[in-house]
């Protein structure tokens, strides 16, 4: 689960009504922050398209089936499951649904990240080595080494369908794939032309700004994220149906707010580095000064490094990697 958890509270999300043959299921998650993931069903001429499906587990499969039945449908009515991105709360249940002969689709680059999804030690080994160079303490590094793949992730195999940007094939309804990497390298949004609704996954959320991770020292996901925001902004749409929380009824305003958030965080980092030449860990401690638990400390570090990489690529920062401990300074 990769969303900043600062200050979140568990609440019951009620189902909301959508137009044009679109149904919403707030599916419970096995943690408090957030407590639900939004699953959507879209009517096509010969069945339903499901967007996201929740975490793995018999309990959650039964819960999803119950919610689908309440809408007077059953799993046999679902002709395609589309995952917006490769996080467990969105695709953990996909393997169980595929066993019920429901085809599964992800964006085409997902093939490159299946091993990382199924084995979290790969992901966190890379982060461990990066964090060590950036001055992270021993306790933080040990915590990364101890992380195991949770059972609610399930096991994902190569999808039945690999999506490309543009209309989703095999559908009668005009639903377009929009590649929107940032929160996840495989993230997509889906634009339903008839309703003018964009299903944003975790790309655009109403209550928080999604966490932008650090994959490695080279990847600049924050630049990709801002470019993805601009891509969605320029599409003529009326509403955003996100992966968590309620509907976004002023989508363009929300996108502007999110871009401003990252601009202000970047400005704060530049102010922190005035007259300093320090490592990424120390920058994180100044950027997030209050005491954090292990999860939020890990998220805060990755978010900090994402901003540092973004500013480096803007030619505003110099990353000195000439010694065993990396440091940052203004150019």
- The answer to whether residue 2 sits within a structural domain is no
- The answer to whether residue 215 sits within a structural domain is yes
- The answer to whether residue 101 sits within a structural domain is yes
Per-residue confidence (pLDDT) for residue 2, from 0 to 100: 35
Per-residue confidence (pLDDT) for residue 217, from 0 to 100: 85
Asked whether the beta carbons of 140 and 131 are under 8 A apart, the reply is yes
- The answer to whether residue 4 sits within a structural domain is no
Residue reference for tokens 């966490």: 211
- The answer to whether residue 74 sits within a structural domain is yes
- The answer to whether residue 128 sits within a structural domain is no
Total domains, the chain: 1
Query: What digits encode the pLDDT tens for the residues 76-92?
Result: 999 999 999 999 999 99
pTM equals: 0.94
Residues of the chain with pLDDT under 50: 1-11
CATH number for the domain that contains residue 45: 3.60.15.10
Pick the closest to residue 195 from 228, 241, 232 (CA basis): 241
- Contacting residues for 79 by C-beta, under 8 A, at least 6 apart: 44, 46, 47, 48, 49, 102, 103
Q: Which domain holds residue 87?
A: 22-112+152-271
- The answer to whether residue 162 sits within a structural domain is yes
Per-residue confidence (pLDDT) for residue 15, from 0 to 100: 83
- The answer to whether residue 119 sits within a structural domain is no
Per-residue confidence (pLDDT) for residue 12, from 0 to 100: 57
From residue 146, alpha-carbon distances to 129, 153, 216, 284, 300 in Å are 14, 17, 19, 22, 19
């Amino acid at each position: 689960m990769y969303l900043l958890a600062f200050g979140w509270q568990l609440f019951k999300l009620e189902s909301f009504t959508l137009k044009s043959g679109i149904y919403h299921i707030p599916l419970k998650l096995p943690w408090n922050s957030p407590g639900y993931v939004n699953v959507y069903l879209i009517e096509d001429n010969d069945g339903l398209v499901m967007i996201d499906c929740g975490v793995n587990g018999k309990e959650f499969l039964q819960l999803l089936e119950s919610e689908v039945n309440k809408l007077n449908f059953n799993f046999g009515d679902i002709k395609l499951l589309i995952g917006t991105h490769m996080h467990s709360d969105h695709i953990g249940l996909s393997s169980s649904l595929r066993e019920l002969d429901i085809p599964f689709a992800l964006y085409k680059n997902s093939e490159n990240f299946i091993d990382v999804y199924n084995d979290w030690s790969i992901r966190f080994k890379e982060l461990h080595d990066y964090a060590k160079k950036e001055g992270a303490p021993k306790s933080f590094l040990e915590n990364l080494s101890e992380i195991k793949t949770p059972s609610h992730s399930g096991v994902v195999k190569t999808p039945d369908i690999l999506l490309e940007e543009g209309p989703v094939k095999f559908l009668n309804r005009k639903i377009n794939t929009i590649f929107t990497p940032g929160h996840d390298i495989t993230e997509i949004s889906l634009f339903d032309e008839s309703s003018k609704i964009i299903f944003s996954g975790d790309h655009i959320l109403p209550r928080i700004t999604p966490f932008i991770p650090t994959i490695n020292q080279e990847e600049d996901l924050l630049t990709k994220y801002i470019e993805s925001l601009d891509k969605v902004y320029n599409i003529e749409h009326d509403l955003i149906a996100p992966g968590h929380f309620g509907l976004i009824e002023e989508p363009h305003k929300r996108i502007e707010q999110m871009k401003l958030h990252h601009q202000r965080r970047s400005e704060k980092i530049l102010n922190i580095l005035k007259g300093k030449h320090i490592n990424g860990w120390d920058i994180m401690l100044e950027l997030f000064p209050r005491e954090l638990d292990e999860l939020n400390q890990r998220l805060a570090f990755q978010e900090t490094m994402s901003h540092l990489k973004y500013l480096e690529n803007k030619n505003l920062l110099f990353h000195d990697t000439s010694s065993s401990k990396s440091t940052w300074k203004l150019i």
